[in-house]
Structure 1
Amino acid sequence: MSAAIKVRSTRVKRAGRSTGGQNISLKRFDDERVQALQKEIRIIKGCMEKHPLTHPEGNKFNTITRIFNNCSLNQGGRNYSNYQNYSESERLTMTIDGEPVCEIDIKSCYLAIIAGRCGISLEQDPYSVLPYVKKHSGNCEDYTRARKLMKLMVSKLLSVDRQPTNFPEGERVKMQDGTIKTLPVQEKYQVPKKVSAKSLFAEIYQTYPFLKTFELGVFDLMYIESNVMTATIFS
């Protein structure tokens, strides 16, 4: 039986290599808190066992683990399961009790959490007001590509560091011949050579200046998000 919850050590970079991230003993933490968290996940797992997510080929997914980070029960805390290894399109072919499934996306969750903490209301689509996206509003395909790029840029700004200067790492793409190739972000999203990552990050800060001073780290944001998702399941 898989563990209901896990806590992992802090990842650090030493000599250019990442270390840490191993599971640590739950005995380090308040037993009452641990048991409460385990109870929540076991209830969810019990429901999944009765009503498993089923792949068209017959594979069933009926377990889940909540994983915390940085040696803390207040950092991270997302739920993980094997079905997440499949692409979004393939997940949408799965069923529960023979019924089709859908996926719910919380739009701009981290950005919305920070804005809410600052008492600021966001546009319905907070990426649409970024200058680089607005410049491409005349063409649907260009607009979609520009929006996806700026979504990545905002994600990097919130999750990597506060003063990023480079584009996010390249993305794996399936080519027409079936091979998998890692494309630079600039190539995938057709970013003009005159447009720098630094200029795009400046646009984000100009549009949302509160991002310059927010104090929540990525695992703080992840913890808030995961608590919202868990509370929604039980509501």
Structure 2
Amino acid sequence: MTPKSNNDNQERALAILREKVMVGASLAEAVSILQRLDQETKVALTTYRDGNYTGLAHQMISRRLMYGNLVPSRLDTENMLIEALTAMEVGEFNFYDLKYDHGDDAVNLLELTLALLHKNRDRGDYGNKIIVHIANRMSNIDALPEVEENDASLTPLMQSILSGDLQASMVLVECGASLDLLNNRGKNARDYVELKRHSNFPFYLEFKTFLLEKAYADKLVAKKRKPI
């Protein structure tokens, strides 16, 4: 067998394995498969031979996250997705920061996860742990995406606020998302909260209350740490 034929066979085998992990196997089976792989195979699953990202983590989230609403225990789905993402991690290769095509845009894993969760108004706190998992592994959760000249560039927190997703907004703040970073329109997350005063007052009231309580709690912690 020639080296080219051997490489082609390996690529076909990897493509089959990627499809199985993404959707062909049950989520529990996918986690088991990923946890048994060696580092070299994980690298091959997440990157093509030219070094480009395969989008494996994005496609797994896209195909499986919303199906958590269709099973008796959404908690199991959420926990297993986190296990799957953890099992895919390889050395310094941080797929959490990478962008991958989703519809008309290229988005990172946090942006994709939030876009999917924002569509589910009845999710409760389902997905919150995934948000925390991804946010804690990203190098910058406040990255402003490149947009067309007439569009507003929004951080994940700004987008969550505009979507009226209270749970996601609170979780992102707890993860350290900035309320004060200015975008290309000269607005910060606090400005977008104020917009909700008229369009979604229940969200506005709850989120403002959360911010006040968090500021008070942070002040108490800082006071305790202050040397006497």
Name the structure where helix makes up a greater proportion of residues: 2
Greater relative contact order, per chain length (Cα 8 Å cut-off, separation 6+): 1
Could you say whether these structures have the same fold, taking a TM-score greater than 0.5 normalized by the shorter chain as the test? no
